[in-house]
């Protein structure tokens, strides 16, 4: 019997090594893609800039050079924000999908981004706050409250320890309903004080244009902390994905895991929305694509989602600059154009009740 087990283990070893090699190759390729897209983002714009000039601006800045000023003050912040917000929206989507066992979950679809955006609207329209540092905390509060509300409506009293009734359709309907209500109230607030929102029109659609390094420094700690928590909970989320009974049998704490997931989603979706606006579908598309290559292991899904979500956000921003040059299309419009067909395709699948 021991000999038979040894033979089976020996047969599985090459497959395990091949799977590990494929995952590592995916990470290396993704990192290379990020570098290429980041450089492209610094080069592309209304004012064409040479590659050598770009590196000079980054490593030997000249305050008298217009090209250097454009790169450092405009293109570098939007590139860094694309990276940060892409990671934030992508990983928050991956966490929501596995925590609720809902393949249709996404911070935009479930209303998390709408909650953050609504509270930002309250802060700007009623309190007169205009800097990201000022209304960031409102975005975090809105993301957390709407996440709890959607989950509560979807579970119908199941609580943090029971989500048997939280079907994908119920969660999506709860998210869409709350998004519609909050969006309507938010629009009414903007009508009361239209001057306050003139500078936020691009933000409301979802854009990384016009941001400076102050915005990057304001949201980076929150997004960084959310990503660290996501990586820490990946192993526990593997147990949660198997179902509550099996998770308890494996010793996983459902309440602790879901609370940490809520904190991570709040930090990621709230900070990302405060910086870039309510950009949707990044957290829906990327985790599904990554899962094709990694399987259901969250220890690989979370880091690879970080990489490829950032790449998608950068690509969307670059595409928006190229499509309507010398004008530009907001990144949120590009991701919506790509993500809507993905949502329809996933909704039409028969096995859409869980991961």
For residue 7, name the pLDDT band (cuts at 50, 70, 90): very low
| Position 342 pLDDT exceeds 90 | no
pLDDT cut 90: percent of the chain above it: 43
| Position 119 pLDDT exceeds 90 | yes
What is the per-residue pLDDT across 93-108, written as a single tens digit (0 to 9) for each?
A: 999 988 887 777 888 8
Comparing C-alpha atoms, which of 279, 256, 287 is closest to residue 96? 287
Taken as a whole, the chain contains a residue count of: 355
Tokens for 238, please give them: 């593997």
For residue 292, name the pLDDT band (cuts at 50, 70, 90): confident
Mean pLDDT of 49-63: 90
CA distances from 243 to 100, 233, 240, 321 (A): 10, 16, 6, 44
3-state secondary structure (DSSP) of residue 108: coil
Mean pLDDT of 234-247: 80
Mean pLDDT of 297-309: 95
Write 217-220 long-range contacts (CB < 8 A, 24+).
218/132, 218/133, 218/136, 218/274, 218/275, 219/81, 219/84, 219/85, 219/132, 219/136, 219/271, 219/272, 219/274, 219/275, 220/84
Domain boundaries 54-348, corresponding CATH code: 1.10.3470.10
3-state secondary structure (DSSP) of residue 243: coil
| Position 85 pLDDT exceeds 90 | yes
Mean pLDDT of 37-44: 94
For residue 311, name the pLDDT band (cuts at 50, 70, 90): very high
pLDDT cut 70: percent of the chain above it: 88
Instruction: Say what the pLDDT of residue 199 is.
Output: 61
Instruction: Say what the pLDDT of residue 166 is.
Output: 58
pTM of the full structure: 0.87
Phi-psi region at 200: left, alpha or beta (left = phi > 0; alpha = psi -120 to 50) = alpha
Question: What mean pLDDT value characterizes the chain?
Answer: 85
Mean pLDDT of 268-295: 91
Instruction: Say what the pLDDT of residue 274 is.
Output: 93
What is the per-residue pLDDT across 121-177, written as a single tens digit (0 to 9) for each?
A: 898 888 888 888 889 999 999 999 998 888 788 776 554 444 455 566 777 788 888
Mean pLDDT of 34-57: 91
For residue 12, name the pLDDT band (cuts at 50, 70, 90): low
Instruction: Say what the pLDDT of residue 15 is.
Output: 65
The values of phi and psi at residue 329, to 5°, are -105, 135
Of residues 149 and 7, which shows the higher confidence score? Answer: 149
Tokens for 286, please give them: 């990327």
| Position 112 pLDDT exceeds 80 | yes
Mean pLDDT of 202-221: 90
């Amino acid at each position: 019997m021991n000999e038979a087990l040894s033979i089976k283990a020996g047969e599985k070893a090459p497959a395990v090594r091949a799977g590990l090699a494929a995952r590592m190759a995916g990470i290396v390729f993704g990192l290379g893609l990020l570098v290429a897209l980041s450089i492209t983002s610094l080069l592309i714009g209304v004012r064409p800039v040479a590659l050598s000039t770009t590196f000079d601006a980054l490593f030997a800045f000249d305050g008298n050079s217009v090209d250097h000023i454009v790169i450092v003050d405009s293109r570098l912040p939007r590139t860094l924000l694309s990276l940060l917000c892409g990671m934030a929206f992508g990983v928050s989507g991956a966490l929501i999908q596995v925590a609720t066992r809902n393949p249709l979950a996404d911070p935009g679809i479930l209303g998390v981004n709408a909650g953050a955006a609504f509270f930002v609207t309250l802060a700007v329209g009623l309190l007169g706050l205009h800097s990201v540092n000022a209304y960031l905390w409102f975005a975090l509060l809105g993301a957390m409250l709407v996440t709890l509300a959607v989950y509560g409506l979807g579970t119908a009293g199941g609580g943090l320890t029971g989500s048997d009734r939280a079907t994908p359709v119920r969660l999506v309907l709860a998210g869409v309903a709350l998004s519609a209500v909050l969006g309507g109230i938010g629009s009414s607030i903007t009508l009361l004080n239209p001057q306050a929102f003139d500078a936020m029109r691009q933000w409301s659609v979802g854009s990384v244009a016009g941001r400076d390094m102050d915005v990057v420094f304001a949201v980076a700690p929150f997004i960084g902390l959310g990503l660290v928590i996501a990586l820490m909970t990946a192993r526990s989320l593997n147990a949660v994905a198997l179902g509550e009974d099996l998770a308890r049998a494996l010793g996983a704490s459902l309440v602790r895991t879901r609370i940490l997931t809520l904190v991570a989603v709040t930090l990621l979706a709230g900070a990302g929305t405060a910086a870039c606006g309510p950009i949707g579908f990044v957290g829906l598309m990327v985790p599904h694509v990554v899962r094709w290559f990694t399987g259901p292991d969250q220890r690989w899904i979370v880091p690879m989602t970080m990489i490829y979500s950032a790449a998608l956000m950068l690509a969307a921003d670059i595409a928006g600059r190229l499509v309507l040059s010398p004008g530009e299309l907001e990144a949120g419009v590009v991701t919506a154009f790509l993500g809507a067909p993905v949502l329809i395709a996933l909704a039409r699948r028969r096995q859409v009740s869980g991961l």
